[in-house]
Chain A
């Protein structure tokens, strides 16, 4: 009912205002889980085999105003392993925004997504694949008193599930960015500073001996000149209670901090980028009891894994996730992480020995992450970490990617990845894995828009799932229609029954603003990670269908005609 009323209201508004526009987007991801001989749903999940996640977003714009509503339908139930709070049909996000570029002012009432600096102290965003939509509902004002000074103030409660369900904390935030070089009218170099403050007030849940306010603050600076860039950030988190086994422990309180340094240099044909970071006790949730939850609920800041994000299936079996939290367990004490990565990109020019006729691109990446070295007392729940010292190694990877166009018809991407993955610390599971992965991705153009793509992958691993082989073929009939088939085979698994072929085949259709993809196959269980934030999914088999569509409705005259 709510939805129909909103739709009617929006249509009415459009029909009465000639300059208005209505845009929208619809996304639907559905699955019918069908058990086969090797893969079966757990009994509790098997009660509902048809599942679907649907999102309909409508944006209504008139002059300086925008009104947005997003309705979400998880019917009859959400896809496997989404938060149980995402259930049935209800409002997701809704807001009204006023934006005036002359006044350099933007005011939002309702839900908003926002990020302060790099997101270390505050980030709200939407990622439907991960089930993250942690908008703040309340008010936000963005104002620039001068062109080079930007101020944001916000206040509200964080979305939790659907409708009018919010987490316990009340969030207030203030952010300032000053482009100092343009303020001082300096042109050859660019530099600026930023300052953020975010407070969580948790009045609803009172814990004896615990301050109801917890704050995060960040100070940062950036510099760039002649292809060289550098930025540095220090962030601090005030004392907060340890949360163990979903229990808040007011008797155990720790503060936290984060140091981030990024350096880069680029000129035509060459680029290098390095990131270093140390974080200690820096996870932040909009309610204490949600700390470290597996459903990615109530996340208030963004501590991404600073490793290269790979895009091939076998390169995504052992994925590092950042480890910002404190936890005690004999032989598995954690208080944060320290490490860095370096990425290098180079182009061998055309008509050189290594460049050939079309040029050759290479990229090299190295990342290494450790726990914080220090004294840990798991029994007393105490620790003291050193500032610059490497503890237990959590993860390391080294990779090489070569991209080469051989002639007008053939091109290839070759990837080699060497990884060390400490599952005991990263996943709180058992074991360590050394893995080597090779991917060869070939595209052959047949006619103008007709092509075939063949991807071959292999992974050698001394632990975990052991060896994998994978192949994928994609046939693109024209620019709109493709067929694909792939198989991942875990032939090296120690358990003979787990040597499973995860095959998938299907078709996809893309035209203009439409996208439809349908397929059948087996989904490997494990972590789905985007930007270093992960969601665990169990293995499954079945049919799946994905639909995307974005649309637009014009102003007064046309719409009236259509309604009649």
Chain B
């Protein structure tokens, strides 16, 4: 009796798993041709502690808005933002866009954010997502993660950073003027 029970359970488990994967694959297939995702409205904060609703980013029209998710302890994130900051003057001269670096530092390191940003001489907007609410709603598993929004729609995503990715990002900015 016992072994029979066990077998049914195992079978059920397998079946359940396969359904999850089928569902996941179904979702992926359905995605093709779909219109772009809208950024959710989440309350973040600015470096001086004021609230910032991400809806404001959806309301920027006519130019791309770049969101780069980072943290003070994440070396590839710092590499990415340093590379972007080095190019920022040139990019701003040639193109119209807005840039926001969104810190995923929690309360262990969030207070270091203004010191890091100023200490590195970064010249872009910085927002804080202290309990990772935006990261969770966007289903971002790892940072660095960069996305571009235009007229409220997410038009480009890049997970991770390797040297040179900033050139791909700039191509997207230029193509969406």
Contact = CB atoms under 8 A, between A and B. Distances in A.
A537 interface: no
A558 B30 CA distance: 9
A510 to B, nearest CB: 4
Chain A contact residues, majority secondary structure = strand
Contacts of A113: 131-133, 136
Nearest to B115: A271
A390 B10 CA distance: 56
B115 A512 contact: no
A406 interface: no
Given A113-B136, A312-B75, A449-B164, A269 B119 contact: yes
B114 A266 contact: yes
A56 B20 CA distance: 8
A101 B55 contact: yes
A126 B136 contact: yes
Nearest to A76: B13
A24 B37 CA distance: 11
A59 interface: yes
Interface residues of B, number: 70
A4 B163 CA distance: 42
Contacts of B17: 73, 75, 89
A57 B139 contact: yes
Interface string A251-277: 000000000001011111111110100
Q: Chain A contact residues (Cβ within 8 angstroms of B): what range?
A: 35 or more
Interface stretch (A114-122, A163-171, A429-437): A114-122
Given A75-B13, A264-B114, A302-B106, A451 B163 contact: yes
Contact of A264 (B31, B108, B115): B115
B117 A448 contact: no
Interface stretch (A78-86, A492-500, A544-552): A544-552
Interface string B32-74: 0111111011000000111001010000000000000000111
Nearest to B34: A554
Most chain B Cβ neighbours within 10 Å, of A7, A343, A550: A550
Interface string B105-128: 011110110111111110000000
B53 A403 contact: no
A99 interface: yes
Given A309-B108, A479-B168, A552-B36, A271 B139 contact: no
A101 B114 contact: no
A89 to B, nearest CB: 5
Contacts of B31: 551-553
Contact of B163 (A310, A345, A453): A453
B30 A513 contact: no
A344 B115 CA distance: 7
A549 B139 CA distance: 8
Contacts of A24: 27, 139
Nearest to A119: B107
B165 A449 contact: yes
Interface string A297-331: 00000101110111110000000000000000000
Interface string A62-76: 000010000101011
A424 to B, nearest CB: 24
A23 B37 contact: yes
B132 A125 contact: yes
A344 B159 CA distance: 30
Contacts of B82: 361, 403, 405
A212 interface: no
A76 B79 CA distance: 38
A508 interface: yes
Interface string A505-544: 0001010111100000000000000011000000000000
A472 B60 CA distance: 42
Given A56-B20, A558-B35, A550 B140 contact: yes
B108 A23 contact: no
Given A224-B49, A302-B106, A549-B28, A443 B163 contact: yes
A559 to B, nearest CB: 7
Given A113-B136, A449-B164, A532 B108 contact: yes
10 contacts: A99-B41, A190-B48, A266-B117, A310-B73, A449-B162, A450-B164, A451-B163, A515-B160, A550-B139, A559-B30
Interface of B: 13, 16-17, 19-20, 23-24, 27-31, 33-38, 40-41, 48-50, 53, 55, 72-75, 78-79, 82, 86, 106-109, 111-112, 114-121, 130-133, 136-142, 154, 156-160, 162-165, 167-168
List the 10 shortest-distance A-B pairs measured between CB atoms, nearest first.
A345-B119, A25-B139, A271-B115, A304-B108, A449-B164, A309-B73, A266-B118, A271-B119, A451-B163, A550-B139
Given A445-B163, A531-B108, A558-B33, 10 more contacts: A26-B27, A61-B40, A125-B106, A190-B48, A229-B114, A271-B116, A343-B112, A344-B115, A548-B141, A551-B31
